[in-house]
Amino acid sequence: MENNHISITFLKRKIFTILMFDNQIAIITGGSSGIGKGIAEKLSSMGAKVILVARTEDKLIKAVEDIKRKGGIAEYRIGDATTPGDIEKIIDEIYNNEKRLDIFVNNAGIFKFSDIYTDYKDITEMIDTDMIAPGRILHYIVNKFSDTNKEIKILNTLSHATFRIMSGNIGYGTAKEALFRISLQLEKDLKEKNIKNIKIYRIYPSSVATPQLLEMYKKGLVEAPTTLESVVNEAIDLLADKTPSRDSFVGYIPNKGIVAAYYYINFNTTYNNPNVLNFLSEKIIDDKYKP
Ligand SMILES: NC(=O)c1ccc[n+]([C@@H]2O[C@H](COP(=O)([O-])OP(=O)(O)OC[C@H]3O[C@@H](n4cnc5c(N)ncnc54)[C@H](OP(=O)(O)O)[C@@H]3O)[C@@H](O)[C@H]2O)c1
């Protein structure tokens, strides 16, 4: 009898997890490839309708087809995050048609190794794509939804380069750290104005085993990568409010395996306690993983 009860509870929990994002609308920038595509696939497998946004149409078509083949609901829109108004128009159109927007994954980004020999225009390109563009989009959404009562979750794909001064990161690390800062300024504003319907999340992956990063790892340009699956699962846990905080690192740590770590934000820093991002706890995801 007790066993039956346990299995029914287990089943209910399983169904709830599977349908956790049922009928929700999610826009994912950079949804045609890598982390964005992985998050889109997982959200759609859990019931969300996903709208993938990127610049290259054939990659978008392929990603939407992959999701539909697995039974998901997906559409795409072509948009360049660095063109002011492009993504904003898509957000307006989707919100007007669907009458809701539950999740926005602010994920589109580029990475190029940059050091003292890099042409500064490549550094500027990263600042534009990884900071100015997602910062502008984040500000737009927070502004747009601030006088509605509709809950919206915004997940920002940052990087461990946000809080680590790493080689080759003059452009990328700087851009991610500044995006982190914009997101916190907006969060502070939301708190001060007592606006509770907008929830901002940040994920800080280490290098991830996407094709570009695997190539760079082989050349010794980046650290050992974690799996795409680990990052996607962590992103979903954040959006499902299953994590100890809304700030989560996921990555490969030598001698530990794949690890998730959680941080709390100190909004009351002082001259002798200047740390904004503070370690909270960690969880071993896979201690057997070898890159
Ligand atoms: N891979 C890693 O190791 C790693 C680690 C930490 C954080 N991240 C972050 O995770 C995010 C995704 O990275 P990823 O490795 O999954 O990248 P990816 O596989 O190269 O995919 C990037 C996606 O963003 C789109 N995109 C790029 N520039 C865009 C623009 N200006 N406007 C609209 N879409 C644009 C790309 O499509 P189009 O080119 O067709 O537009 C593509 O869909 C980035 O923010 C990255 O910084 C990655």
pLDDT, tens digit only, all 291 positions of the chain: 556 666 776 666 666 567 899 999 999 999 999 999 999 999 999 999 999 999 999 999 999 999 999 999 999 999 999 999 999 999 999 999 999 999 999 999 999 999 999 999 999 999 999 999 999 999 999 999 999 999 999 999 999 999 999 999 999 999 999 999 999 999 999 999 999 999 999 999 999 998 888 998 999 888 999 999 999 999 999 999 999 999 999 999 999 999 999 999 999 999 999 999 999 999 999 999 988
User: Treating both helix axes as pointing N-terminal to C-terminal, what angle do 86-98 and 133-145 enclose, rounded to 10 degrees?
Assistant: 30
The Cα angle at residue 153 between residues 149 and 154, in degrees rounded to 5: 125
Q: Is the CB of 105 under 6 A from ligand 1?
A: no
**pLDDT number for residue 221:** 86
Ligand 1 pocket test: which of 157, 164, 202, 212 has the largest number of ligand atoms within 8 Å of its C-beta? 157
Closest residue to atom 29 of ligand 1, CA basis:
108
Q: Is the CB of 82 under 6 A from ligand 1?
A: yes
* Nearest atom within ligand 1 for CA of residue 176: 47
**pLDDT number for residue 6:** 62
**pLDDT number for residue 19:** 85
Phi and psi at residue 94, to the nearest 5°: -65, -45
The token duo for 192 is: 């001060």
**pLDDT number for residue 12:** 64
Q: Is the CB of 52 under 6 A from ligand 1?
A: no
Number of C-beta neighbours around residue 195 at 10 A: 15
CA distances from 55 to 33, 103, 173, 179 (A): 11, 20, 23, 21
Q: Quick check: 12 and 36 in contact, CB under 8 A?
A: no
Q: Is the CB of 159 under 6 A from ligand 1?
A: yes
